[in-house]
């Protein structure tokens, strides 16, 4: 009997962008073909914490890759943030915006007045990532928040890093942290891993059994879990095998994929057995044992991804922190996971 795939029963398929669909200006191998295949029968939408771009510019980029996407298919963290902001300040208020066009356009479209100076007595500060954000902009945020300690502060997201064509770069979380260190408090956050952006997507697209696909445990998977939806971690972006094995209970994905082709492939069942004090976990032809504080390979099998899936389940079911276990290096070695 053929095993079900991660798409079995799914009626809404949501994708993160950076590290899942593309890295910098280029699509990730197999992503476009896999998404177009799924879109034949499932509603597809895109979620992004990146506040530097508009939904229409994101849709244009996706279309350029060969995906069928329009601006309404893209849910951005500024769109979620503006809903939070609207509950905190009066309509039409002056807002200090720290970010790029992807954020300022949403603030203006919501009827607020945009300023770049704390001297304009803004009703609130809203902050999102843009490559041009620097010390001067962060200082304005600090001036505004220190001048009026009760002044609302909304952040689109707090991703520590972002994947770009040249590698891993600082994300909005690092910029938010700089302001936090200057003002001694934290913002209200709209994007992943908060549930608001996921709930906005389900509200817009519909669906009763959504699946979210991301590349980060601390934002994508944690956020999907908080929103009560299934998730798939794809190992083409930030988090890889070592991070998967160490994932805490709140950040564990439903599925682990080496690339998006595996969305529509059979997903082998995880079989957990005990043998005396030992724990044995098998996925496909791969088996991992937890015994006396050690995690080792019993059977490698033909596919490294199945070995990783088995190792993750074994460690997650061991009942102790990964820091208390001796994990065989071959279970988390960097390299191709297929």
Please identify every residue annotated as catalytic: 16, 18
Closest listed residue to residue 315, CA positions, set 239, 247, 256:
247
Task: Measure the CA angle with vertex 189, ends 188 and 195; round to 5°.
Answer: 120
Question: Distance between CA atoms of 253 and 201, rounded to whole angstroms?
Answer: 19
Indicate the DSSP class of residue 18.
Answer: B
Instruction: Return phi, psi of residue 265, to 5°.
Output: -90, 155
Give how far the C-alpha of residue 303 lies from the chain's centroid of Cα atoms, to the nearest Å.
Answer: 26
Could you please report the per-residue DSSP string of 139-194?
Answer: HHHHHHHHHSTTS-EEES---SEEEETTEEEE-HHHHHHHHHHHHS---EE-STTS
What's the token pair of residue 287? 């088996």
Question: Distance between CA atoms of 44 and 31, rounded to whole angstroms?
Answer: 13
Please list the alpha-helical segments (H only) found in the chain. Answer: 31-39, 55-65, 77-86, 101-109, 135-147, 172-183, 196-205, 222-226, 241-245, 304-316
Q: Check if the beta carbon of residue 264 is closer than 8 Å to that of residue 34.
A: yes
Indicate the DSSP class of residue 302.
Answer: S
Question: Distance between CA atoms of 225 and 83, rounded to whole angstroms?
Answer: 21
Residue showing tokens 């505004």: 144
Indicate the DSSP class of residue 268.
Answer: P
Q: Check if the beta carbon of residue 8 is closer than 8 Å to that of residue 263.
A: no
Closest listed residue to residue 298, CA positions, set 313, 315, 311, 317:
311
């Amino acid at each position: 009997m053929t095993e079900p795939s991660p798409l079995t029963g799914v009626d809404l398929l949501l994708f993160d962008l950076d590290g899942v669909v593309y890295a910098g200006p280029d699509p990730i191998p197999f992503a476009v073909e896999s998404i177009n295949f799924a879109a034949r029968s499932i509603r597809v939408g895109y979620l992004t914490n990146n506040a530097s771009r508009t939904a229409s510019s994101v849709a244009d980029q996706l279309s350029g890759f060969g995906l069928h996407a329009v601006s309404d298919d893209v849910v951005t963290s500024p769109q979620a943030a503006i809903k939070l902001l609207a509950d905190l300040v009066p309509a039409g208020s002056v807002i200090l915006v720290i970010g790029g066009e992807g954020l300022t356009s949403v603030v203006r479209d919501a009827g607020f007045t945009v300023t770049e100076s704390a001297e304009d007595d803004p009703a609130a500060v809203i902050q999102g990532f843009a490559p041009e954000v620097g010390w001067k902009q962060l200082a304005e945020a600090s001036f505004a928040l220190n001048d009026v300690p009760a002044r609302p502060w909304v952040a689109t997201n707090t991703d520590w890093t972002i994947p770009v064509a040249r590698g891993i770069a600082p994300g909005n979380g690092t910029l938010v942290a700089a302001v936090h260190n200057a003002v001694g408090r934290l913002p209200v956050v709209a994007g992943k891993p908060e549930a608001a952006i996921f709930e906005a997507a389900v509200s817009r697209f519909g669906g009763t059994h959504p699946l979210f696909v991301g590349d980060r445990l601390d934002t994508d998977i944690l956020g999907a879990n908080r929103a009560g939806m299934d998730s798939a971690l794809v190992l083409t972006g930030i988090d890889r095998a070592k991070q998967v094995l160490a994932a805490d209970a709140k950040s564990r994905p439903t599925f682990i994929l080496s690339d998006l082709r595996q969305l529509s492939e059979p997903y082998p069942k995880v079989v957990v057995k005990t043998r005396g004090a030992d724990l044995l976990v098998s996925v496909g032809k791969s088996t991992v044992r937890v015994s006396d504080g050690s995690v080792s390979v019993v059977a490698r099998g033909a596919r490294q991804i199945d070995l990783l899936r088995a190792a993750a389940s074994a460690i997650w079911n061991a009942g102790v922190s990964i820091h208390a276990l001796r994990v065989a290096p071959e279970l988390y070695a960097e390299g191709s996971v297929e």
